[in-house]
Amino acid sequence: MRVLLSNDDGVDAPGLQALTSKLSRSDDEVWVVAPATEQSAQSHSLTMHRPLRVIRHGERRFAVTGTPADCIYLALHHVMPERPDIVVSGVNAGSNLGTDVHYSGTVAAAREACLQGLPAIAISLESAHDADRAAQWGTATAIAERVIRSVVAAPLPPRVFLNVNVPNLPLPEVKGLKACRLSDRFYQPFVEERHDPRGRAYLWIGGRHSHFSDDPDSDGPAIEEGWATVTPMMATSTVEDLITSLKGWTDA
């Protein structure tokens, strides 16, 4: 099996290294094409107004001076001589739950692969940035391998990819893998104004996580209960069920 790995944390990120190591122990042909630097929260942006560079780091390991979506695009149309059987983005340091998927570069890499007609999975490890808890990369890579084998054995429908989140627990403590919908994830937004040494104002934006929607079958509450979650997602965004009702006031 030929596997393409990418991420948004960068080519040297520990989650990507752990997944590469895990999959390289089998007979799989593992390729890595990932950002040269961290590209978190870049969503599905492509670089159109400056040149991109591809830097070889090994036989099948490359860094791209661009976004996660750039990495997938270049991997498929420039770097790899043959298309992969599956694309996996991650393991991301930190969860991509609920509505966060719209901002995530990790999820966007999988979405881009799906748009290019390939099976794709995004996988993230909850609380991997927590200095008080060791990141359980082994748990994440074990679950990633399980999901990869399942998708290869039973292919997903066209235009569907998977978003997987793993609790930061030792593998025996994870309750299992649960199929979930996306949660609504609520934040307290903030804009922080600071000043540079010359007194000019600049801004930092962000949000402090408040809570998830109260839906036990959605990914946020499930991961808080110790489940690894898998959510099927559409690469396209049309709400097909509303097409007919919209024709009540459109012209065609």
Domain boundaries, the chain: 2-182+214-246
Integer angstrom CA distances of residue 36 from 49, 56, 79, 186: 18, 11, 15, 31
Residue type, 120: A
Q: Residues 91-110: pLDDT tens digits?
A: 999 999 999 999 999 999 99
Integer angstrom CA distances of residue 82 from 31, 74, 183, 215: 11, 12, 37, 42
Confidence of residue 187 (pLDDT cuts 50, 70, 90): confident
pLDDT higher than threshold 90 for residue 207: no
In angstroms, the CA 232 to CA 162 distance is 5
In angstroms, the CA 3 to CA 10 distance is 18
Is omega for the bond preceding 30 within 30 degrees of 0, making it cis? no
In angstroms, the CA 223 to CA 226 distance is 5
Which of the following CATH numbers is that of domain 2-182+214-246: 3.40.50.2300, 3.30.2320.20, 3.10.180.10, 3.40.1210.10? 3.40.1210.10
pLDDT higher than threshold 70 for residue 131: no
